[in-house]
A and B are shown apart, each in its own frame.
Chain A
Amino acid sequence: MDDQRTHIISALVLHKPGVLQRVAGLFTRRGFNIESITVGTSEQEEIARMTIIAKGDGKVLEQITKQLNKIIDVIKVRDLEPENTVKRELCLIKVHSPTEKIRAEVVQYVNIFRGRVIDVSPETLTIEMTGASDKIDALIDLVKGFGIKEIARTGPTAMSRGVKTI
């Protein structure tokens, strides 16, 4: 058995009600370890693209792929090669920043990480950060000290590099 690895599974599914439930339900029912699912419209109107991040060995991955393929509303499933995949996640972080000094510091970090401040109040700054999940983790770690009021993450979405499509 090979080692546990995080897999990026890209799936094309029919864009209709209940499909996300079919996919998510499958993970529960089969006892697969799912880390995140993102779903949204694709280049074709009637088709949605899902990105599923799941952990498991080769055997588990094979089952996940095959079971996903069995769902009638799932059109195509592919396990993306991590080295040939672009992967991005969106994260919103609301940081407690009651003083001028803290705000300056936070903005500095945000600039270094190429994030953006998208909302300000006397008490808080809200940061938008898009990037690799570990970069987002790093920024969260940095600003944690000031006090984080809220985090909302989308989970990664991904596609193959270059001309390759699924």
Chain B
Amino acid sequence: MRGGEALLKSLENQGVDVVFGYPGGQLLPLYDMIYDSDLRHILVRHEQCAAHAADGYARASGKVGVCIATSGPGATNLVTGIATAYMDSSPIVAIAGQVPTGLIGNDAFQEVDTLGMTMPITKHNFQPITSKEIPEMVKSAFYIAGTGRPGPVVLDLPKDVQEQELDFENDVKINLPGYKPTRKGHPLQIKRAASLIGNAKKPVILAGGGVIISNSSEELLKLSELVGAPVTTSLLGKGSFPEDHDLSLGMLGMHGRLSANFAVDKCDCLIAVGCRFSDRTTGKISEFAKNAKIIHIDIDPAEIGKNVDVDIPIVGDAKIILSNLIRAISQNKMSSKSMEWVNRVKDFKQTCIPKMSFDNTPLKPQQVIKEIAEAVDDDTIVTTDVGQNQMWMAHYFTSRKPKTFLSSGGLGTMGFGFPAAIGAKVAMPESDVVAVAGDGGFLMVSQELATVKEYDIPVVICVLDNRYLGMVAQWQNLFYEKRLSHTHLGESPDFVKLAEAFGVAADRVERPGELREVLSSAINSGEPTLIDVTIDPDEILPMVPPGCGLTEIVGEYKTEPNNSEDVPYHEAAKERAGD
């Protein structure tokens, strides 16, 4: 068997049924072998989108996603997608072609140091020098990518190694003496945490992406109800807790819900699960949860104490630790004091109910999100791009289930949403998949319209079209004296015509009430569809300026008319939150 065949056979042994890729010179042998294999290969139209699609596949399914690109420019184009997966702990295996071993280091045609380039943005990377190494490397790559704190692994495959003969063994052993992720939490720490939570009067849970990765949403819900702890999430934690639950506070942070920001500010015990305390989540560190003892549960020991000093660290798998924690706490009855806290939280949450119905034109984004929410069901996977569209979705869209809200958090990669939706749809063909993008981000990846057409991947793309790089313009408006330097995108293209040029169905929505129906019928059509939604460029989402505490909001919220008339949203919330 040849090296490339060994690679394909190894992928098959790992249960891989689909790869997202783009061929090139140094992958000619491998692609020749793919031609004869049963592997489903989806030809994307840009390598970056292969990585994002593999990432979307991984986030939606919990399995390892696979992408392939050639050497040099193929590999460099993968880099953004790999870095995105790395920042958000998404398990992908990226296979890159490399020049033949004899030419490595000669600046050969399309040569780049893929190993060196991807070292800082991967969990690990490999380069087989002989084909014999391939089976073990592939097995190790999948094991590393998918276990512990998941992350991307790169396999850099020289051209001659793809052709070199080997004796293939199905049952290879892997040897990784330096890799032993801790799964069970330390019993003593769990005991200490249980007693701290038991004695807390004002507990809050902060759930991150780790809750979703470890499938511990059920345990999270149980713990929250058991101790009367309201739950806020990071952006990546969205969906880990049903956001229509009484105890849900919504997203925390710079662009988060005020109720969440105030609750974390006031709480006396913060239980952080599977989150890394990103600056977008915490705001100014010295102000963050300053009245609280902090418990931090994470599978990556290096995340503990990195950004926020914690009182009780517990390293391990969130599912196991939460179960143990629930068992330890179950003896303690919920005190009346924590009911008092729950009621207070509900009360100030009421003050903050954002207004979402608007009959203006151009359409208000709140109204757009409301109509999207009405058109989809709980199992629909929504992906977002990066920018205002993302924060509007994070803020106004109610997620009820894990793995249904996919967004580029850590790297904030524009152009993520659409290709991630392609990957998600391929992974979960039974689920409806809707990508929400801004016009800026969508234009970075619009060539993938060819991919969804060619392979008939029925995702629906809602382009929230305000002709601005909205989030950058928002910062310019708030912090740079409204000097909108190069954030206006001009009047082209016509997205409907663009989609039609690719043979993709398209529609335009301009008035309130239209999107709900157009989106519903697009989803039901079973065809890839683009919906261009013209929105108001002047609408901004209030935020916490960088470097400020979580309660120092700028900008005015619009609340439901019944709530605190004439009192600005955050003033009323502040009052209700009390001391």
Contact = CB atoms under 8 A, between A and B. Distances in A.
A75 B177 contact: yes
A63 B119 contact: no
B290 interface: no
A59 interface: yes
Contacts of B119: 18, 21-22, 25
B177 A14 contact: yes
Contact of A62 (B116, B120, B300, B305): B305
Contacts of A14: 177-178
Contacts of A76: 178
Nearest to B302: A66
Interface string A68-91: 011111111000000000000000
User: Main SS of chain A's interface residues?
Assistant: helix
B124 interface: yes
A1 to B, nearest CB: 10
A41 interface: no
Contacts of A75: 177-178
Interface in A1-37: 13-14, 18, 21-22, 25, 29
Contact of A72 (B116, B179, B302): B179
B302 A70 contact: yes
B192 interface: no
A108 interface: no
A56 B104 CA distance: 38
A29 B120 contact: yes
Interface in A43-81: 59, 62-63, 66-67, 69-76
B245 to A, nearest CB: 35
Interface in B102-117: 115-116
Q: Which of B124, B144, B179, B302 has the most CB of A within 10 A?
A: B302
B144 A72 contact: yes
A76 B180 CA distance: 11
B306 interface: yes
B198 to A, nearest CB: 29
Contact of A71 (B116, B178, B301, B305): B178
Contacts of A70: 300, 302
B305 A59 contact: yes
Q: Which of A13, A70, A74 has the most CB of B within 10 A?
A: A70
Nearest to A64: B302
A148 B124 CA distance: 44
A72 B301 contact: no
Contacts of B123: 72
A63 B120 contact: no
B302 A74 contact: no
B115 A63 contact: no
B397 to A, nearest CB: 34
Q: Which of A18, A25, A29, A59 has the most CB of B within 10 A?
A: A18
A40 to B, nearest CB: 18
Interface in B271-307: 300-302, 304-306
B188 interface: no
Contacts of B179: 72
A67 B119 CA distance: 14
A59 to B, nearest CB: 7
A32 to B, nearest CB: 13
A25 B144 contact: no
Given A59-B305, A63-B302, A63-B306, A72 B124 contact: yes
Contact of B116 (A21, A63, A67, A73): A21
A72 B120 contact: no
Contacts of B116: 21
18 contacts: A13-B178, A14-B177, A18-B115, A18-B119, A21-B116, A21-B119, A22-B119, A29-B120, A62-B305, A66-B304, A67-B302, A69-B301, A69-B302, A72-B124, A72-B178, A73-B178, A74-B178, A76-B178
Interface of B: 115-116, 119-120, 123-124, 144, 176-179, 300-302, 304-306
Name the 8 nearest CB pairs between A and B, nearest first.
A66-B302, A72-B124, A75-B178, A72-B179, A29-B120, A74-B178, A75-B177, A66-B301
